[in-house]
Amino acid sequence: MVTIRYGVIGVGGVGKAHVKAAKELENIELIAVADINVDYAKKIGEEYNVHWYKDYGEMIEKEKLDAVSICVPHFLHAKIGLDVIDYDVNVLMEKPITITVGEAEKLINKAKKHNVKLGVCFQHRIDPESIVLKDLIKNGMGEPLRGNLLYTCYRDQRYYGKGAWRGTWWGEGGGVLINQAIHYIDLFFWFLGKKPVKIYSMMDNMLHNIEVEDTASAVSLLENNSQAVMQFSSFDNPSIFHLDIRFSRGAIIMDSSGVKYVKTPMLRDMIENKIEKTEPEWATLSNIKVKYTGHKGILYDFANAIIEDKQPLIPGEEGKISIEVVNAIIMSGFLGKVVELPLNPEEYDKILEKLKERKPLGEKYSL
């Protein structure tokens, strides 16, 4: 089987999952790892019997790699991504694609210029239920009419003490939105199939000793005039996840108990009494088999995209959608007003610089 020569940049955290997946996949030959912390690099390199480096540029030059996973702190995503593309090497970026939509656009444009693949790791897209739901939506559920997303999780103060960049505007670029909720924001808008055009939000830091938000709520107007409501927090124990979307010919529900869906006649026809109201039964999804899930599934797809010269499952353009939503929620919460999308990257950059001054979230600024 054709394989690609692969490396992983950043192996102190989630990069270890990328290393494990790459080592096990039949279409990838894991060649080397790199980490600025040489203890991490050496440990993982020796554990997986691959070369290890402190300098990712040296690794790419010496090992003649086809592609790398970038699994570093958020604030380094754009810089390292742009550097790697300069070597004409394909990039799989761990989420988020970047901290800002402006950085994402630079990364996407440079990848196109160098004719390399740019993929983003949102592994819930490769969950079996997600794949089947998306197919059901595309084949007969019609237009989205409304959507709700609730995602809460629990992170204690020790979590934010694991790295100086965590819980900061300069290093992480946000809190629960950019770190945890972004997985489900990506899934939500992928299912909706419509881009947001306006967002209004509120955000705050309720319980954590960090700079960034630990709770946020937002309502979004989509391009077809439907509405999507979102709420997030990182102080809930137990955690809660619930996603539901009503379409013109059906509905889906995904939560911690499982996944179900229903297909219906056209809602407008029922409401206008052109047909009788029906009482369809919900169907459940379970025991669906796919070849690979999680990080392994994302890396397998990305390698095949390179081998077969096709788009990866989550190309840079789609990875940009979730970070633009995150930026818009932060921008609206900061300004206290509705913001329109596409965002002006320069305006968001100004707001992020103000937030880096570590002023209270509720304090308004003159830009």
**CATH class name, domain 4-123+293-315:** alpha beta
Over residues 105-113, the mean pLDDT reads 99
pLDDT at 202: 98
pLDDT at 274: 86
pLDDT at 267: 85
Q: What is the pLDDT of residues 169-189, one digit of tens each?
A: 999 999 999 999 999 999 999
pLDDT at 278: 80
The answer to whether residue 343 scores a pLDDT higher than 60 is yes
- Phi/psi for 279 (5° steps) reads -120, 75
The answer to whether residue 292 scores a pLDDT higher than 50 is yes
Confidence of residue 360 (pLDDT cuts 50, 70, 90): low
Fold match, 4-123+293-315 / 125-288+321-355: no
Residues 6+ apart with CB under 8 A from 5: 29, 31, 63, 64, 65, 66, 67
The answer to whether residue 39 scores a pLDDT higher than 60 is yes
The answer to whether residue 253 scores a pLDDT higher than 90 is yes
Instruction: Give the amino acid at 266.
Output: M
Sign of CA dihedral 47, 53, 57, 63: negative
Is 3.30.360.10 the CATH number for 125-288+321-355? yes
pLDDT at 228: 99
Which pair of structure tokens corresponds to residue 334?
């900061």
Q: Give the separation between CA 299 and CA 297, rounded to whole angstroms.
A: 6
Over residues 51-72, the mean pLDDT reads 98
The answer to whether residue 367 scores a pLDDT higher than 70 is no
pLDDT at 129: 94
Over residues 245-263, the mean pLDDT reads 96
pLDDT at 359: 58
pLDDT at 285: 86
The answer to whether residue 328 scores a pLDDT higher than 50 is yes
**What's the half-sphere exposure (Cβ side, CA atoms, 13 Å) at 28?**
28
Q: What is the pLDDT of residues 202-229, one digit of tens each?
A: 999 999 999 999 999 999 999 999 999 9
* Domain ranges for the chain: 4-123+293-315, 125-288+321-355
